[in-house]
Every structure is written in structure tokens, then in C-alpha cells.
Amino acid sequence: MEEEIELQPRNRVKMWTFIIVLILISFISLFFIKTSFTISQITNWTDGDNMTDDLPPLPEDDPDRVNILLLGMRGINEPGDGKLLSDAMILASIKKSTGQVALISLPRDLYTRIWCAPDEKKINFAFAYGGLDCAKNTVALVTDLYIDHAIGINFEALKEVIDTLGGIDVYLDRPFEEDFQWAKEGLEENDHWMIKEFDGEERWVFYVPEGENHLDGETALYYVRSRYSTDDFDRMRRQQQVLMAVKEKALSLNVLANPVKIYNLLDLLGDNVRTDAGLSQIGSLIGLTSGLDKENVRTKFFDIGPEGLLYHTFIDEEYVLLPVGDNFDKIQEASKNIFN
């Protein structure tokens, strides 16, 4: 593979090196492209006013650590409300001196003070209200970690990346069914859609059978979006499963040597990805990739389990998640000490 990579222009080599590494360490894939045209499309997407007068100062930058906030949302062109709510939030953290990598997942229902809003809301509201800066600063207050950069990607990007790769393969230990979320809006009956009767009512059911499954982009997107049959915490695990499958398929097809697939993905990412990292900053991040320990990625899920540090309640009849002890001290400790 190395000989084939050397045949590509230098900028493509750097671009794809970075892409593959970030697929390895996150559930959001293929979002940094090193071309001036695409960079001009995806950078500097920040809005909103920072209302910080009554908020604590942001944490100081740790010179030995790089923290990148990864956000997933439905996208501006999707129907309905909540198009820019960041329903997937992962903090990818790199320790420069050791090459260690960690993923810290934050549930969308976490209730906290939003950096650019005057009150408390669910954390997934931050990006929709104030863009990348607001999301970065809100997560910084929750974790007590300085956030270097943020990246937003919509579902369409994931779908089209998978289709460009010719689909992905995932293995399930047991069948998966979603019988409520799309009960009235399912697709035609096929390998992953069927109609079932529940208490005299017919519903569309999305399902993925036990064993090895080949998923196209649309089917994979339904698989990672489903949350009513289980919960948001299981959905985060399914998202990671799909992204690892994307990584495996990209490597198996030797995408690095295929200029047609590269240009298809360039067009896709320009429309569906936003980041506040500039060209020089992306270059610096690329320089970190060679020394990363990609085989031993540490992960942390904040959830309502025994070690999850969260509990659920209702505020104004809305389901929310709050930190154990009603402060973020333990979450901050876990985030800051994840490499210890």
C-alpha cells in the first residue's frame, strides 16, 4: 500500500492519512479534506452571541493534549424540526507525549448551561443555537477540558460515504428491530423492512437479522439512527460499529489509490461537513497521526449505568440527564484523567 500511496500527489496522501486515522478513533468519518476549495466550504461555520458574563472561565489549554469535538446531526436539508441538533457528540482526545487516544461520548439529553444561551438546556441544543464555538465552549465547561477544534457532519455524508464504498458489512450477535420510530413511514418490504401487527395495528418494522449483514448507506443510516427500540446509549455503540466497518471497507478497497472515489468524497464533504480548523491547523493535526496508538483506544460513555455518572429525571415534563451529585466534578475528573 505504501508504494501506491507514494504515486499520489502529496496533498492527497496527507489528506487520506488523516481521514483513515480519524475513522479509527471516532464515529464520525471522512471530514478533513486538504484542498483549498473544500476547505473554503467547510470552515468557519459559527454563529450566535456568546453570553458569558455569568459563566466560569474556560479551561486552560493543555500543551500535551489535543481535544476535538465531533458532532453529528440530521442536516439543514432534512425535513422537520431539530435539523441542527447535535444528536451525536464525541470528544476525541489525543495525548501528544504518548500517542494515546481516547473517545468520550456525551449523551444528547445531558442537561447543562449552554455557553451562548442565558439558561440551561439539553447539550445537543448548543450547536443549533450558536454554531461550533457554542458547542465547543459548552462541552469545555462540562468536561473541564480545553476544546481545540470542532467538526460537524450530517447524516447525508455518512450515507453517501458508505454507498461510495459499495456498502459495509456488520455482524450482529442477535437480531435488531425498530418497531416504533418509523412505524408509519417505512420503506417497501425487503430484507430490512417488514410489516407487523401490534394490538390490531400494522406497523413498519426496520430490522437487521442475526449474523453477517451487508448494509448500503440508507440501511446503515437507519441502523445508527434507531433509538426507540433501545436507547441513546446503545445507539452510540451501533454508530461506532458502523464507523469501524467503514474503516475496514475503505482499507480493503484500497481507496487511497482510487482518484474517482477521492473526488466523489471531496464533493460530498464540501456540502455536508463544517469545521473551525483552518488549513494550517489541519496540517498540524495530520502531523500527529503517525505516532498515535490506534490499537488501544480508550473509551468512556457517560450514561445512567452504575459507573456512568448520570441519572435521569424530568424538568418541565422533559426527559433529561443530570450528573450524579448535581455537579460535573466527577465527569470532569473522569475526562481529565482518562489516560491515567
Range of the domain at 212: 166-232
Whole-number pLDDT of residue 259: 60
For residue 242, tell me if it sits in a domain: no
For residues 60 and 137, membership in a common domain is answered with yes
Among 1-5, 83-87, 100-104, 252-256, name the one with the lowest average pLDDT.
Answer: 1-5
How many angstroms separate the CA atoms of 163 and 131, rounded? 29
pLDDT reported for residue 211 = 95
Same domain, 186 and 289: no
User: In whole angstroms, what is the distance from residue 224 CA to residue 244 CA?
Assistant: 13
The answer to whether residue 41 sits within a structural domain is yes
Residues forming a β-bridge with 151: 70, 275
CA dihedral (25, 28, 34, 36) positive or negative: negative
pLDDT top residue among 251 and 319: 319
Q: Which of 246-260, 269-283, 308-322 ranks highest by mean pLDDT?
A: 308-322
Contacts of 12 (CB under 8 A, 6+ apart): 34, 256, 259, 262
CB 299 within 8 Å of CB 105: yes
Does residue 238 belong to any structural domain of this protein? no
Residue whose grid cell is 468524497: 265
- Assess whether pLDDT exceeds 80 at residue 317: yes
What count of residues does the chain have?
A: 340
Q: Is the dihedral of CA 261, 263, 264, 268 positive or negative?
A: positive
Instruction: List % helix, strand, coil for the chain (3-state, nearest 5).
Output: 40, 25, 35
More confident residue, 206 or 242: 206
Query: In this predicted model, which residue has the larger pLDDT, 2 or 122?
Result: 122
The verdict on residue 286 lying in a domain is yes
| For range 44-68, the mean pLDDT | 73
Give the pLDDT confidence score for residue 282 in this predicted structure.
Answer: 66
pLDDT the model gives residue 210:
95
Query: How many folded domains does the chain comprise?
Result: 2
Query: For residue 196, what is the enclosing H or E element?
Result: strand 193-198
In tens, the pLDDT along 129-140 reads 888 899 999 999
139 close to 328: Cβ distance less than 8 angstroms: no
pLDDT of residue 205: 93
Q: Please indicate, yes or no, whether residues 141 and 279 belong to a single structural domain of this protein.
A: yes
Cα(141)–Cα(59) distance, integer angstroms? 7
* pLDDT value, residue 140: 96
In this prediction, residues 43-65 reach a mean pLDDT of 70
Residue 248 lies in a domain: no
Tell me what pLDDT residue 31 has: 34
Write down the pLDDT at residue 271: 66
pLDDT attached to residue 76: 59
| Confidence check: pLDDT of 6 > 50 | no
Strand 176-178 to strand 111-113: parallel, antiparallel, or no bridges (unpaired)? unpaired
Q: Are residues 154 and 301 in the same domain?
A: yes
- 279 shares a domain with 228: no
Q: Which residue has the cell 417488514?
A: 194
19-23, 40-44, 84-88, 313-317 — which is least confidently predicted?
40-44
CA 321 to chain centroid, in Å, comes to: 19
- 199 and 220 part of one domain: yes
124 and 190 share a domain?
no
In a domain, 77, yes or no: yes
Instruction: Measure the CA dihedral 8/10/16/22, to 10°.
Output: 160
Can you tell me the mean pLDDT for 199-205? 88
- Which of 202, 232, 262 terminates a domain? The answer is 232
Q: Please answer whether residues 21 and 292 qualify as being in contact, where contact means their C-beta atoms are separated by less than 8 angstroms.
A: yes
Most confident of 72-81, 92-101, 294-303: 92-101
State residue 277 phi and psi, 5-degree precision.
-85, 130
The answer, yes or no, to whether residue 28 has pLDDT greater than 70, is: no
Ramachandran category for residue 55: left, alpha or beta (phi over 0 → left; psi -120 to 50 → alpha) = beta
User: Position of cell 454508530?
Assistant: 239
**Torsion angle of C-alpha atoms 317, 321, 323, 324, degrees rounded to 10:** 80
**Is 243 domain-assigned?**
no
* Residue range 142-168, pLDDT digits in tens: 999 999 998 888 887 788 888 888 999
Please give the Cα distance from 76 to 128 (Å, whole number).
Answer: 10
Return mean pLDDT, the chain. 78
Query: Based on the domain organization, do 57 and 175 belong to the same domain?
Result: no
Q: Is the confidence at residue 302, as pLDDT, over 60?
A: yes
